[in-house]
Amino acid sequence: DAMVIQNPRYQVTQFGKPVTLSCSQTLNHNVMYWYQQKSSQAPKLLFHYYDKDFNNEADTPDNFQSRRPNTSFCFLDIRSPGLGDAAMYLCATSRDGETQYFGPGTRLLVL
Amino acid sequence: GDSVTQMEGPVTLSEEAFLTINCTYTATGYPSLFWYVQYPGEGLQLLLKATKADDKGSNKGFEATYRKETTSFHLEKGSVQVSDSAVYFCALIQSNFGNEKLTFGTGTRLTIIP
């Protein structure tokens, strides 16, 4: 089945230690998104790639970066995680900005 | 800007009860409308969608009709099951020439008791 895959499902890191979350997709969608979701809240868009074009949300902290080496993969890098960055991180994909399909998420714990 | 207003939760129902979760929106133009469901510890799953006025989206016994005159997209199910316990998000996408973004409601937590 075509799908969005996120690894790992759970990630524990230390305060200030860089961490990378990964997302891959077999849907061949040209748009990929990263969201942050904190407890009992709606997901918040961090940034997205439309093909190779990177689009950062105005309020996304500089601590968050992203890479998209090819159509299928996208990475979220958190350069110096703080306690406030503990959250569920969701990857999503779409074709040309239409219906978004989400992965299962990676839950990040910062110690 | 665009916005989505969802029924406040949490909602608790008995098994086999009728479910309605209200959703209204504010948007210019003609957005596409969605319901996503999130089970505990999981990502969002697309439940149903409608892309134009009077369209009805349906899936797994859930239904919602795109009502332009009342700017609403209420979610309904005739007989809920314990397995329907989850958080439900109403959302819209406005066409924006490659810069489309999902605008979410706040989410409604649904608990079904046996």
Are B5 and B92 in contact, with CB atoms under 8 Å apart?
no
Q: What is the DSSP letter of A83?
A: G
Q: State the amino acid at position B13 in one-letter form.
A: L
Chain pair A-B, CB pairs under 8 angstroms: 55
**Min distance B58 CA to chain A CA atoms (Å):** 15
Residues B87, B110: Cα–Cα separation, whole Å: 6
Residues B20, A109: Cα–Cα separation, whole Å: 35
By Cβ distance, the residue of B95, B99, B102 closest to A100 is B102
By Cβ distance, the residue of B32, B43, B93 closest to A102 is B43
Best A4, A100, A101 member to test B by mutation, with max B CBs in 10 Å, is A100
Best B6, B44, B92 member to test A by mutation, with max A CBs in 10 Å, is B44
For residue range A70-108, what is the model confidence (pLDDT) as tens digits? 999 999 999 999 999 999 999 999 998 889 999 999 999
Strand partners, B62: B59, B77
What contacts A16, CB < 8 A, 6 or more positions away?
A80, A81, A82
For residue range A31-85, what is the model confidence (pLDDT) as tens digits? 999 999 998 899 999 999 999 999 999 999 999 999 999 999 999 999 999 999 9
Q: What is the DSSP letter of A85?
A: G
For residue range B63-103, what is the model confidence (pLDDT) as tens digits? 999 999 999 999 999 999 999 999 999 999 987 766 678 99
- What's the whole-number mean pLDDT along residues B16-32? 94
Q: State the amino acid at position B100 in one-letter form.
A: E
Are B75 and B88 in contact, with CB atoms under 8 Å apart?
yes
| Partner B contacted by A73 (CB < 8 A) | no
DSSP codes, chain B? --EEEE--S-EEEETT--EEE-EEEE-SS--EEEEEEE-TT--EEEEEEE-STT-EEEETTEEEE-BTTTTB--EEESS--GGG-EEEEEEEE---TT---EEE---EEEEEE-
Q: What is the DSSP letter of A2?
A: -
